[in-house]
Amino acid sequence: MDDPEAALAGKKPRVKDYMTRDVVTVSPDDTVGEVAKRIADSDAHSGFPVCEGRRVDGFVSARDLLLADDHEPIFKVMTRDIIVAHPEMKITDAARVILRSGIQRLPVVDDAGNLVGIISNADVIRSQIERATPEKVGKLKRTLESIHGVGATEERRTVDLSELTPTQTKVYTDELEGRAYELENGLAEPLVVIDNAGELLLADGHHRVKAADRIDIDEMDAYVIVLDERVELGMAETARKSDLETIADIEEVDYAHHPLVETTERLQDNE
């Protein structure tokens, strides 16, 4: 992200804060066969911006290539009248464009028409997930400071999951598939961790870390509340009493639904 603190500071997130800057492009003179092979060999790309230098001339998708001859140049089959975003556009406006147009990725161009990035529907979803987290972290930080009379700071960093101490005894199996999907598609909300003099207590994100463990993810993005000095935290006492030391100690409950699912079912039963 260009400015990872923008969302934290409560500012309106912009496209530039979430777009991918390292964009793979193709040339108008590349052939249909060459581009088709690049799409076939890629798990991440179903199309490419077509650029002459950095100027965007069009966009080519797998659909554009279906009935074209392999030797045709891309400029003959590409879509020329394309929708683009500006880096200063609000992320909510980009979301509306993506939703209404059905396009999964928008090239991002500057005032001169030069390609500076690309924004996807996944980026938009991630921006909405992350906007909700800082408020949660700030509230927890203020609560810790008030209850324990200790100073604290907030950091954004990558944490090693093997170093986390869980504070929740169980997770629900029916939630883990959804969390794994989010992780695999870059949509997962960051964890919330308390650094208590080097002891990393997982405050929020137990389903996410359990799902990550299932699919061999070793590190995750986290908001970390760093306490100025070590204090006795109730959640740490809970972890000790429950013999929680690693992610493996979190029990998977597969004989009951997540409480929210049960609530929904009870509402349906009462109708």
Domain boundary among 109, 124, 139: 124
Angle, helices 173-184 vs 206-214, to 10°: value is: 70
Residue 69 is assigned to a structural domain of this protein: yes
Give the whole-angstrom CA distance, residue 51 versus residue 61.
14
Binned at pLDDT 50, 70 and 90, residue 7 comes out as very low
Residue 133 is assigned to a structural domain of this protein: no
What SS3 state is found at 169? coil
Checking if the pLDDT of 182 tops 90, the result is no
CATH of the domain at 16: 3.10.580.10
Residue 163 is assigned to a structural domain of this protein: yes
Q: Which helix (H) or strand (E) holds 79?
A: none
| Domain with 59 in it | 5-124
Into how many domains does the chain fold? 2
CATH of the domain at 190: 3.90.1530.10
Read off the DSSP letter of residue 70: T
Higher pLDDT, residue 78 or 133: 78
What pLDDT score was predicted for residue 132? 66
Q: Are residues 90 and 164 in the same domain?
A: no
Q: Are residues 46 and 120 in the same domain?
A: yes
Q: Name the residue with tokens 């279906």.
A: 66
Of 2-16, 201-215, 216-230, minimum mean pLDDT range: 2-16
Q: What is the mean pLDDT of residues 160-168?
A: 95
Q: Are residues 105 and 184 in the same domain?
A: no
The string of pLDDT tens digits covering residues 14-68 is 999 889 898 999 999 999 999 999 989 887 778 899 999 889 999 999 889 988 9
Q: Which helix (H) or strand (E) holds 214?
A: helix 206-214
Q: Are residues 266 and 155 in the same domain?
A: yes
Q: Are residues 28 and 114 in the same domain?
A: yes
Give the tokens for residue 23. Answer: 């964009």
Say if pTM beats, i.e. exceeds, 0.75.
Answer: no
Residues 154 and 138: beta-carbon distance below 8 Å: yes
Domain boundary among 124, 141, 176: 124
Give the whole-angstrom CA distance, residue 133 versus residue 162.
23
Q: Are residues 167 and 101 in the same domain?
A: no
User: What are 145-154's contacts with CB under 8 Å, separation 24+?
Assistant: 148/227, 148/231, 148/233, 150/227, 150/228, 150/229, 150/231, 151/227, 151/228, 151/229, 152/225, 152/226, 152/227, 152/228, 153/225, 153/226, 153/228, 154/8, 154/223, 154/224, 154/225, 154/226
Q: Which helix (H) or strand (E) holds 9?
A: none
Give the tokens for residue 3. Answer: 């400015």
Backbone angles phi, psi at 23, to 5 degrees: -100, 135
Higher pLDDT, residue 70 or 261: 70
Residue 131 is assigned to a structural domain of this protein: no
Backbone angles phi, psi at 10, to 5 degrees: 85, 10
The string of pLDDT tens digits covering residues 238-267 is 888 889 999 999 998 875 444 444 443 444
Give the whole-angstrom CA distance, residue 94 versus residue 84.
9
Backbone angles phi, psi at 2, to 5 degrees: -70, -40
Q: Are residues 107 and 12 in the same domain?
A: yes
Residue 186 is assigned to a structural domain of this protein: yes
The string of pLDDT tens digits covering residues 96-148 is 888 777 778 889 999 888 999 999 887 887 777 777 677 889 989 999 999 89
Residue 134 is assigned to a structural domain of this protein: no
Strand ranges (E), 29-96: 47-52, 55-61
What pLDDT score was predicted for residue 152? 96
Read off the DSSP letter of residue 215: T
Q: Are residues 261 and 157 in the same domain?
A: yes
